[in-house]
A and B are shown apart, each in its own frame.
Chain A
Amino acid sequence: MPIQSYLFLSFSLFAIGVMGVLMRRNAIVIFMCIELMLNAVNLLLVAFSKVHGDPGAQVFVFFIMVVAAAEVAVGLAIIVMMFRKVNSVDINILNRLKN
């Protein structure tokens, strides 16, 4: 398979993730979209690793997975904390912080 296919797939996934973050209002869905962005990056890293013949990029993927897991742990805790307060995971409540 040429690298272009992988590039196209990764960019599509990344774009879907970015659009999701910008357009959805549900904190959990936004969070899932961020994970989608990270996984698009992982896919691209593995593809480039093959192109350059360098296993270093595949090691990078493991680091991204670990950091993403750490972020999930913290992020879900924050979302739960918020949910307990306002009984909603809608991020429109964030507008209260302004002014």
Chain B
Amino acid sequence: MKPLIATAVFAILMMFAALTVKEKKSFTHFAAILMLGLVGLNVWELADYNRLLASAQASPDLFGKMLRVDNYALWFNVLMSSCSFFYILLVGRSIEKVGVHVGEYYALHFFILCGVFLLSTYNNLLILFLGIEILSIPQYILSGSDKRNLKSSEASLKYFLMGAFSTGILLMGIVLLYGAMGTFDIHGFNFYATGTLNIMGVVGVLFMLVALGFKVSAAPMHFWTPDVYDGSPTPFTAFMATIVKVSVFFAFMRLFMEGFANLDPYWKVTVLGTITVLTLLIGNITAVYQQSVKRMLAYSSIAQAGFMMFVVIGSNAMAMKGMIIYAVAYTLATVGIFGVLLKLKDYTYDGFNGLAKKHPFLALIASICLMSLAGIPLTAGFFAKWFVIAAALEQPGTFWLVIFALVMAAVSLYYYFKVIMAMYFKTGEPELITPVTTMDKVVMAIIGSAVIVFGIAPDMLLAWI
């Protein structure tokens, strides 16, 4: 578990650097180097694990069965750390502008990644709880880091109160499940041990479902999302909406696939199906009425969460593939569009008017990312949606759910293309607050081409599982 330890060490290194280094720019360079090191460590871990497994020296269970590593989780870690690396390269300049404690902001990012790695490999509800908390607490701080801005403080307070409340509900769920099953090990749950359904266990599952639904902002537990995402400093919104969200989804899927495998499919299809329908409906319909692109992206992240709920409903081999592709497609596209948004002064749709004339490259990247979010063929988003829907269809009784999701995907075209229309077909004078550097162009080009390459050959992402 080299990367897991490394994240904590790197975070502490960043905090020490914050004491001594005064130059803001060097923090971004330092964080980028450390993040690259983290990607390297993750790749090393993946290769090493395979080599050891071949010689039967490795055991998948670590730390007394607290963690369980496999190729799939390690590959997810590699992808998430790579996405974080591109994220830092793209928005680092904006993070420096948020406030004075740049070193600490990066340290908090590393702590969040520590939670991400715990969530991808947990084998015990204790680690699930710790992972979610390690992931959440830095986010409360990050969302309030723009101290001059009242909106940021309010977002932080709101996120904190709601997040702590959902933690209490998650813990109640874990305890009820423990009371019913007598174990915290997610592979030890048997809901029919006495022949009939264990009611206390099911109530525990429902509590956990509510709490995890809250963390991934699934309706009707989504109400905090628009305010918090809108109020937080934009670079941190990009991180919260992407890497954090898909990691919690990963944990969510593992819980239902491995932990609750023996629960009746009724629970998955009916309860999760209702949540999915509500999430898709509320996310997409409300996004249509937004004036600000940042707020629209917050609602779009709710809508995308509705699609990601399909992997939890599916909870099968296809869902595992869908999870990886959706995670990467959604993360890359959202980081890309936030990267463009951060360059602009005006976050409303009008702020995008005429961007294609003045900065054709920014407009091109934004269009590719938006088309991927909408799920247009030849972008990664298309195969992401295709895989998660295929996974859901393997469960009986999800046909209408899928039809509904496709209708909602058509609705989402409206608000994504509204931005593209503004960029290409309207005239205006878009103002940039930060100049587009060569570095930005390179990273944006990588993100844009990755979205297209994964849209043509999604199998590349599945090579390791």
Q: Knowing A38-B171, A74-B137, A74-B160 are in contact, say whether A81-B227 is a contact too (CB < 8 A).
A: no
A96–B149 CA distance with the chains assembled, in angstroms = 13
Contacting pair A14 B179 (CB below 8 A): no
| Interface size class of chain B, counting residues whose CB lies under 8 Å from the partner chain | 35 or more
Q: Are B227 and A85 in contact (CB under 8 A)?
A: no
Contact across chains for A70 and B133 when beta carbons are under 8 A apart: yes
Task: Contact check, A93 vs B154: say whether CB atoms are below 8 A apart.
Answer: yes
**A91–B175 contact, CB under 8 A?**
no
Contact yes or no, A94 B158, CB < 8 A: yes
**In the bound complex, do residue B156 and residue A44 qualify as a contact, i.e. CB atoms below 8 Å apart?**
no
Provide the bound-state CA to CA distance between A60 and B66, in Å: 12
Which residue of the partner chain, among B129, B164, B167, B183, contacts A31 with CB atoms under 8 Å?
Answer: B164
A60 x B153 contact (CB < 8 A):
no
Partner of B178, one of A31, A45, A81, A85: A45
A75 pairs with B175, CB closer than 8 A: no
> Which of B133, B140, B161, B183 contacts A30 (CB under 8 A)?
B161
Task: Report Cα–Cα, A78/B164, bound state, in Å.
Answer: 13
**In the complex, what's the smallest C-beta–C-beta distance from A6 to chain B, in angstroms?**
10
- Please measure, in the bound complex, the distance between the C-alpha atom of A56 and the C-alpha atom of B188, giving whole angstroms: 14
- The CA of A71 and the CA of B231, in the complex, are separated in Å by 21
Contact B129 A71 (CB under 8 A): no
Check B144 against A78 for contact (C-beta < 8 Å): yes
| Centre residue among A38, A54, A74 by max chain B CB count within 10 A | A74
How far does the alpha carbon of A25 sit from the alpha carbon of B171 in the complex, in Å? 24
**Does B182 make an interface contact (CB < 8 A)?**
yes
Partner of B171, one of A48, A56, A64: A64
Task: State whether B126 touches A63 (Cβ < 8 A).
Answer: yes
Q: Would you give the shortest CB distance from A47 to chain B, in whole angstroms?
A: 8
CA distance A75 to B446 in the complex (A): 39
Q: Which residue of A lies closest to B161 (CB)?
A: A30
User: Is there a chain B Cβ closer than 8 Å to A1's Cβ?
Assistant: no
Assess whether A67 is in contact with B154, with CB atoms less than 8 Å apart.
no
Instruction: Tell me which of B153, B167, B183 contacts A81 (CB under 8 A).
Output: B153
A37 to B172, CA, bound (A): 8
Q: Which residue of chain A is the closest to B144 with respect to CB atoms?
A: A78
A78's contact among B157, B165, B178, by CB below 8 Å, is which? Answer: B157
- Given the known A-B contacts A48-B178, A54-B182, A70-B133, are A96 and B154 also in contact in the complex, defined by CB atoms under 8 Å? yes
Instruction: Indicate whether B155 reaches chain A with its CB closer than 8 angstroms.
Output: yes
Given contacts A38-B168, A41-B172, A44-B179, contact A97 B156 (CB under 8 A): no
Residues in B309-341 with C-beta less than 8 Å from chain A: none
A71 to B140, CA, bound (A): 10
A23 contacts partner chain B, Cβ-Cβ < 8 Å: no
Contact: B158 with A14, CB < 8 Å? Answer: no
Q: Do residues A60 and B133 form an inter-chain contact, with CB atoms below 8 A?
A: no
Chain A contacts with B in 66-85, Cβ cutoff 8 A: 67, 70-71, 74-75, 78-79, 81-82, 85
**A17-B168, A44-B175, A75-B164 are contacts. A82–B137 as well, Cβ < 8 Å?**
no
Given that A30-B161, A78-B160 are contacting pairs, would A51 and B137 also be in contact in the complex, using a CB cutoff of 8 Å? no
B293 smallest CB distance to A (angstroms): 15
CB distance from A80 to the nearest CB of B (A): 10
| A39, B165: Cα distance in complex, Å | 13
Contact A27 B161 (CB under 8 A): yes
Interface residues of B in 234-253 (CB under 8 A from A): none
Closest 9 CB pairs of A and B: A37-B168, A97-B227, A52-B182, A41-B171, A48-B179, A34-B164, A67-B133, A44-B175, A82-B157
Using a CB–CB distance below 8 Å, which chain B residues touch chain A? 126, 129-130, 133, 137, 140-141, 144, 147, 150-151, 153-158, 160-161, 164-165, 167-169, 171-172, 175, 178-179, 182-184, 227, 230-231
Besides A38-B167, A81-B153, 8 other CB < 8 A contacts? A38-B168, A52-B178, A54-B182, A71-B133, A74-B141, A81-B144, A94-B157, A97-B158
